């Protein structure tokens, strides 16, 4: 019989190495939102309005990095339909953020999109997001 350590060594030898984190954008079907995440870290979610939530790195001061590491856009399917963003193909984040700017009278959201979200997706090369083209009934 093998020892626990030998079994652990065997499992590690046949398991693929875990892939590192990569900045990404994805659609969360269950919550109907688009999440953009630039860094894998502990975050605080700060709501800007009923549609946009900002991800703030809890330890950015100690790390010396970016304070804002992502964001969430809620009601994604309805938002895409409202702004004629075709969910049958990948949606470019630049177009999504432009639509958000066009529909956001709130200065806080406009500031966030122009000075945080757009530079973040550009610097991290997060170009597009896939949204399954399902039933797009108004919410």
Model confidence pLDDT, tens digit, residues 55-101: 999 998 887 778 999 999 999 999 999 999 988 889 999 999 999 99
Q: For residue 60, which phi and psi values (nearest 5 degrees)?
A: -60, -35
- Is 65 part of a structural domain of the chain? yes
What distances in angstroms separate CA 14 from CA 7, 18, 67, one per listed residue? 11, 12, 38
**Whole-prediction pTM:** 0.79
Beta-strand pair 68-74/52-57 = antiparallel
Of residues 56 and 7, more confidently modeled: 56
pLDDT at 73: 95
If one counts the domains in the chain, the total is 1
pLDDT at position 136 is 47
Q: Does residue 69 lie in a domain region? A: yes
Q: How far apart are alpha carbons 113 and 71 in whole angstroms?
A: 10
Polymer length in residues for the chain: 139
pLDDT of residue 46: 96
For residue 116, tell me if it sits in a domain.
Answer: yes
Give yes or no for residue 4 having a pLDDT over 60: yes
- The pLDDT of residue 135: 52
Residue among 6, 53, 14 nearest 31 (CA): 53
Q: What is the pLDDT of residues 91-130, one digit of tens each?
A: 999 999 999 999 988 899 999 999 999 999 999 999 999 8
What is the Cα–Cα distance from 16 to 4, expressed in whole angstroms?
Answer: 20
Q: What is the pLDDT of residue 137?
A: 47
Give dist(CA 1, CA 85) in Å, integer. 60
* Domain membership of residue 87 as a residue range: 21-128
């Amino acid at each position: 019989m093998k020892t626990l350590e030998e079994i652990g060594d065997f499992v590690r030898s046949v398991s693929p190495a875990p892939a590192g984190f990569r900045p990404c954008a994805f659609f969360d079907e269950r919550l109907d939102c688009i999440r953009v995440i630039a860094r894998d870290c502990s975050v605080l979610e700060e709501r800007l309005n009923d549609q946009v939530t900002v991800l703030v790195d809890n330890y950015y001061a100690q790390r010396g990095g970016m304070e804002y590491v992502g964001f969430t856009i809620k009601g994604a399917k309805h938002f895409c339909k409202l702004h004629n963003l075709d969910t049958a193909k990948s949606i470019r984040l630049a177009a999504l953020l432009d639509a958000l700017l066009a529909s956001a009278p709130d200065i806080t959201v406009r500031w966030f999109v122009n000075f945080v979200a757009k530079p973040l997706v550009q610097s991290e090369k997060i170009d597009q997001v896939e949204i399954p083209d399902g039933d797009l009934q108004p919410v």
